[in-house]
Amino acid sequence: MKILSKLRASIAVSVIMIFSAVLFVDINEARAEYGDVVINNYSDAAGMRPVVFPHWFHRIRFRCKVCHADLGFKFQAGGNEINMVKIIDGQFCGACHNGDIAWSVENCNLCHSANPKTPTQVHESTVQKLVQPTGTPKK
Ligand code: HEC
Ligand code: HEC
Ligand code: HEC
């Protein structure tokens, strides 16, 4: 009986440990959301962490046209040859991250926030996540 309750206790402990491990992983994972774009054409090579661009965060605040027409962002992850000279000059991210519309360029780590060596990519596809089969339409 004693052995059994010891066993139960140790199982309970491991269950708690597994749960907290899962929680811990989830907290870390939450930093990258669907549709986030990782931009890493130059960052790693320059010894900076790659950039995470939170697309949804921006999309709910601005029309597509603001960035993809007016500011000239091409619709392609990593397709824009962005560098810090251009940003400080007010192009690309620098059109807003100038301490006026949004916080300024000094906040390196807020943009350069990806794990080192993360390649340029779209983190999951928003299209695949949003468009779910809805079954046969009702007549
Ligand atoms: C508003 C977002 C943003 C902020 C803030 C920012 N960067 Fe960048 N940075 C970028 C983007 C986007 C790129 C292009 C990433 C790539 O293709 O690797 C980049 C590229 C770079 C590069 C490689 C290209 C180059 O210009 O040499 C370096 C080095 C760099 N950043 C350093 C910094 C430092 C240092 C700071 C803080 C003083 C900073 N960045 C702040 C967005 C930002
Ligand atoms: C605040 C600026 C901004 C706004 C607003 C914005 N985008 Fe983007 N978009 C970007 C940037 C930056 C990238 C990545 C470009 C790069 O890596 O050089 C991107 C990439 C993309 C891509 C290619 C990557 C992917 O997810 O497949 C598509 C498609 C796209 N945007 C569509 C849209 C649509 C549709 C809207 C409006 C609902 C929109 N964007 C609004 C800045 C913006
Ligand atoms: C059209 C304007 C605009 C452009 C272009 C833009 N941003 Fe932003 N960004 C904003 C605004 C506004 C905020 C919110 C600032 C605040 O909360 O004070 C923001 C916030 C952010 C945040 C923080 C998101 C959060 O969860 O708080 C990151 C990271 C970021 N931008 C990265 C970038 C990068 C990288 C680029 C270029 C690839 C970029 N932004 C281009 C307007 C812009």
What pLDDT, in 10s, does the model give residues 14-44?
Answer: 655 555 544 444 443 435 567 899 999 999 9
Would residue 133 count as lying in a domain? no
Q: Give the CATH number of the domain where residue 66 resides.
A: 3.90.10.10
**Same-domain pairing of 26 and 55:** no
The finding on whether 105 has its CB within 6 A of some atom of ligand 1 is: yes
pTM: 0.83
**pLDDT confidence tier of residue 123, bands split at 50, 70 and 90:** confident
Q: Which domain holds residue 11?
A: 1-30
In contact, 54 and 33? CB cutoff 8 Å: yes
Would residue 137 count as lying in a domain? no
**Same-domain pairing of 106 and 69:** yes
Average pLDDT, the chain: 82
Ligand nearest to the backbone CA of 105: 1
The finding on whether 12 has its CB within 6 A of some atom of ligand 1 is: no
The finding on whether 24 has its CB within 6 A of some atom of ligand 3 is: no
Would residue 136 count as lying in a domain? no
Nearest CA to ligand 1 atom 5: 105
**Same-domain pairing of 9 and 67:** no
How confident is the model at residue 129, as a pLDDT?
47
Give all strands (DSSP E) within the chain, no chain letters: 37-39, 51-53, 121-122
Residue 8 has pLDDT above 90, yes or no: no
The finding on whether 38 has its CB within 6 A of some atom of ligand 3 is: no
Nearest CA to ligand 3 atom 19: 102
Would residue 56 count as lying in a domain? yes
How confident is the model at residue 32, as a pLDDT?
57
* Model pLDDT for residues 59-89, shown as the tens digit of each residue: 999 999 999 999 999 999 999 999 999 999 9
